[in-house]
Amino acid sequence: MNLLSELDQLNLEPAAKTQVAAMLQALVEQAAQDAQTIANQQQLLQTKDASLQAKEVKIAALTHELAYYKRIRFSTKSEAWAPLQQDVFEETWNTDISAIDAEVEQLQNEPCDTVARPKRLRAGRQPLPSHLPRIEHRHEPESCTCGKCGQDLVKIGEDVTEQLDVEPAKFFVHRHIRPQYACRSCETVTAAPIPSAVIDGGMAAVGLLSWVMISKFLDHLPLYRLEQIAARDGVTLSRSTLADWVGRLGVALQPLADRLAWHLLQRDCLHADETPVPQLDPGNGKTKKAYLWAYRSNDLQPGPKILIFDYQAGRSGRHAQQFLQAWQGHLVVDDYAGYKALFAADRAHPETQRLIEPCIELACWAHARRKFFDLLQASQSPIAQEALQRITVLYAIEAEGQGLSPVERQRLRAEKSRPALAGLHDWLRQTRLRTAPNTATAKAIDYSLKRWAALTCYAETGDLPIDNNPIENSIRPIALGKKNWLFAGSERAGKRAAVIQTLLGTAKLNGLDPAAWLKDTLEKLPTWPNSRIDELLPLRFVD
């Protein structure tokens, strides 16, 4: 725009026109500057909005993480959804209630002529186990004649009550007497051979050895506590002696654990997991982190249950590869990266490095569910609540098929599980499109979507598990026991513990009494032929 030509039409003085033109030009330039300033401010606001949104996402993520760790540290770790709340002081309350009842009974037993004492209703109790030995105590009346008329009493029945009792561990001594006989004519001496023992020349009988091993590895009592228990009965068992027994028994039982591992690798579906174990680091005055790897058979397939522990110095995936070697089949694991090499198309044998067939990954629905459970606990997210409801349906179907055969369970899964999984998948995808990235909700959804093929593989069959809970349940006693024994003294001690935990854990899975099995095995082991080693394994075969 030419301002001077426009002003010529206004018949203004030349000086006035120049002044007005300058003023208008200044206004135009000012307007342009203002427009540029507004544009810059809008761009700055957009940048700040983006930064603010990123900070809000970060705050939400940190809030979720903080809530998670607070729950793990201070609250219950149970993932049961919408349970009846268990009070922390329930045990104390039950004790107090019983004490109050006893005090009330004492008051009611006092004589009172004005108030009739109500009869207390007692709840029935469960019968005591039938397999326990019974010691009978008969209580006969002082006289067999009637106290009123003097006639003889006739038995019309009997009242039987039972009380449970226990006898703490007591020590006793086996004396082995071997008479020696001589032949006068040929001057030879004859005596019965010394009974074979798992520890030659040792003073411990198999019952004592079994008690030490069960106490240490099943009840997680350190050896110094066993030393104190024996001292209360006047028996001196030094820790060095106890440690010597444990070390020798670990070596003696190693072939049984190796044979169990061989049997496990004949299965075509396994569970795998690992848990950290502190190990003493001599010279540094500290502990370092070792790992106890665990492998378990699939409970939905036929055959006895087997549990194997493998102690290793680290968490590298090569330890799993070294244990499994060329094994192929379905492997149920969590999302730990150490297992990924087992599922790779270019999987190589750990020793020969030749290519072998990869394992088939089975993902764990319990881990996928845990993401949404943590989200619900942290923010009461309706998305997490909906996801948990849908996953609960999957577990309800598994509970329905618990007693079915693999063929019947496969039919049930095809009828109910697959449609439920398809609906869950569609809902997750649609929800993810409406969810902001990098949020806790997005991460929980992405965990399931990225592993969907491995999560749904179980529903195609009738004998594959839905989750990895069986192996986690087998590891849990080890995690609890660490609070007692604190750390492994050495790598050799960790491997020895893994051998014994393997045998005792497998015995428990098969419904055997670990103490009875171990005692029987220690009696037979010194003279048992290696060709019949399978007969000593803690397995229960069901026809």
**CA triple 116-117-123, angle to 5 deg:** 145
Report pLDDT for 82: 44
Q: 539 Cβ partners below 8 Å, 6+ apart?
A: 263, 304, 306, 506, 510
Q: How many CB atoms lie within 10 A of CB 355?
A: 11
HEC assignment per residue over 123-151: CCCCCCCCCCCCCCCCCCCCCCECCCCCC
Query: Which residues of the chain, if any, have pLDDT below 50?
Result: 81-93, 543
Long-range contacts of 242-245 (CB under 8 A, 24+ apart): 242/212, 245/199, 245/202, 245/204, 245/209, 245/212
pLDDT at 543: 44
Domain of residue 406 covers 365-459
CA distances from 75 to 67, 70, 93, 393 (A): 10, 7, 19, 26
**Residue from 392, 276, 388, 272 nearest 335 by CA:** 272
CB atoms closer than 10 angstroms to residue 65: 13
In a domain, 333, yes or no: no
Task: List, in sequence order, every beta strand (DSSP E) within 282-369.
Answer: 286-297, 307-312, 330-332, 360-362
Q: Are 358 and 321 in contact (CB under 8 A)?
A: no
Residue pair 432/446 in contact by the 8 Å Cβ criterion = yes
Take residue 418 and report the two structure tokens written for it.
């697959």
pLDDT tens-digit profile of 462-520?
999 999 999 999 988 877 666 655 566 677 888 888 999 999 999 999 999 999 999 99
**Rg over CA atoms, the chain:** 38
What is the distance between the alpha carbons of residues 135 and 138, in angstroms, rounded to a whole number? 10
Would you call 295 helix, strand, or coil by DSSP?
A: strand
* Residue-level pLDDT at 493: 80
What strand order describes the sheet that includes 330-332? Answer: 307-312, 286-297, 269-281, 330-332, 360-362
- pTM score, whole prediction: 0.75
Structure tokens given for 310: 């493998």
pLDDT of residue 383: 93
Give the per-residue pLDDT at 85: 38
The number of residues making up the chain comes to 543
Per DSSP, which regions of 55-209 are E strands?
A: 180-183, 188-191
Bridge partner list, 348: 355
Distance of alpha carbon 508 from its chain centroid, rounded?
15
What backbone torsions phi and psi does residue 464 show, to the nearest 5 degrees?
-105, 145
Main-chain dihedrals φ then ψ at residue 357, nearest 5 degrees: -65, 140
Distances from the Cα of 323 to the Cα of 177, 272, 353, angstroms: 48, 11, 15
Q: Is residue 444 part of a domain?
A: yes
Instruction: Tell me if 272 sits within 8 A of 333, measured CB to CB.
Output: yes
**Does residue 70 lie in a domain region?**
no
Instruction: Catalogue the E-assigned strands of 152-221.
Output: 180-183, 188-191
Report how far residue 223's alpha carbon sits from residue 486's, in angstroms, rounded to the nearest whole number.
13
Q: Alpha helix (H) ranges present in 332-468?
A: 340-343, 365-379, 382-400, 406-412, 418-433, 440-450, 452-456
Q: Report how far residue 214's alpha carbon sits from residue 500's, in angstroms, rounded to the nearest whole number.
A: 9
| 60-63 contacts, C-beta under 8 A, 24 or more apart | 60/379, 60/439, 60/440, 61/438, 61/439, 61/440, 63/378, 63/379
440: its two tokens: 């806790």
Residue 375 covered by a domain: yes
Instruction: Please tell me the total count of domains within the chain.
Output: 1
Q: How far apart (Å, rounded) are the C-alpha atoms in residues 265 and 274?
A: 18
pLDDT, residue 7, reads 56
C-alpha span between 464 and 364 (Å, rounded): 11
What b/e readout covers 103-127, taking b as 16+ CB neighbours within 10 angstroms? Answer: eeeeeeeeeeeeeeeeeeeeeeeee
* Residue 93 CB coordination number (10 Å): 11
Say which residue the tokens 């700055």 belong to.
44
